Amino acid sequence: MKFRSVPLALLAAALATATPALARDSIATPPPEPLLERLAQAAPGLDRGVLSLATRAVSCTMRQSGAQARPATLSVIDFSRPSTEPRLWVFDLASQRLLFQELVAHGRNTGENMATKFSNRNGSNMSSIGVFRTAESYVGANGYSLRLDGLEPGFNDLARQRAIVIHGAPYVGPEFARAQGRLGRSLGCPAVRPSVARELIDRIRGGSVVFAYYPDDDWLQRSRLIDDDCGGTRHAGTSAAATGDS
């Protein structure tokens, strides 16, 4: 199956302020965005268009919350990649270095090796996409876990109600992937390897950003957190909420 990539129009917009270009008609273009450049160097395997959207989500989240400082970390999940490949990257935003590059599972009804369907509905057993804020850690049925609060109405804002959390799972690991041709699947949680779960959770808990990407046209068009103006003029006069599956 071919990977789906960021739609060209949105990718162009996302890279407009991030990619150096030749001057046109003697008008200088903006320099590369430093954060994006540093993170791209730290994780060359992460699609640059996805990373550009993720860094924009950090900026929009800060703008909408009124925060003055960046969150401590940015976690990027690229659900357009197969589950058998590392598709979770965690960055320290202060040092702008890569902390983790990990396998991560998706929901059992989201797909087999490739994720194809996503939902915000309780009981769907699907993963959700969009921008999340990390919350508190706790010990539950899956051991040490991390609660997530979805920031995108209609796409992931029921994450806490659905108990969509980061936790370790024995079905996440290269051995399982080789034996089954895919990772095991969760009830919608982004599950990681048990051996890395505690360390990863402790690094990202307490208000950091998790960006879960998939080239879903509806989300890419409607999200207020990856928009050029962070949900300003483009969304004026439209409803902020949506219901049902996403």
Q: What is the pLDDT of residues 10-31, one digit of tens each?
A: 545 554 444 443 333 333 444 5
pTM (2 d.p.): 0.84
169, 186 contact by CB (below 8 A): yes
What are the E-state strand segments in the chain? 73-78, 88-92, 97-102, 130-140, 143-150, 165-167, 209-213
Residue 224 CA to residue 102 CA, distance in Å, equals 28
Residues 36-47: what's their mean pLDDT? 98
111 — pLDDT class (breaks 50, 70, 90): very high
231 — pLDDT class (breaks 50, 70, 90): confident
CA 190 to each of CA 127, 169, 210, 219: distance values in angstroms, whole numbers, following the listed order: 7, 10, 11, 19
Q: In this model, does residue 47 exceed pLDDT 80?
A: yes
Q: In this model, does residue 3 exceed pLDDT 70?
A: no
Q: Where are the alpha helices (DSSP H) in 8-72?
A: 8-15, 34-42, 48-65
33 — pLDDT class (breaks 50, 70, 90): confident
pLDDT digits (tens, 9 = 90+) for 76-100: 999 999 999 999 999 999 999 999 9
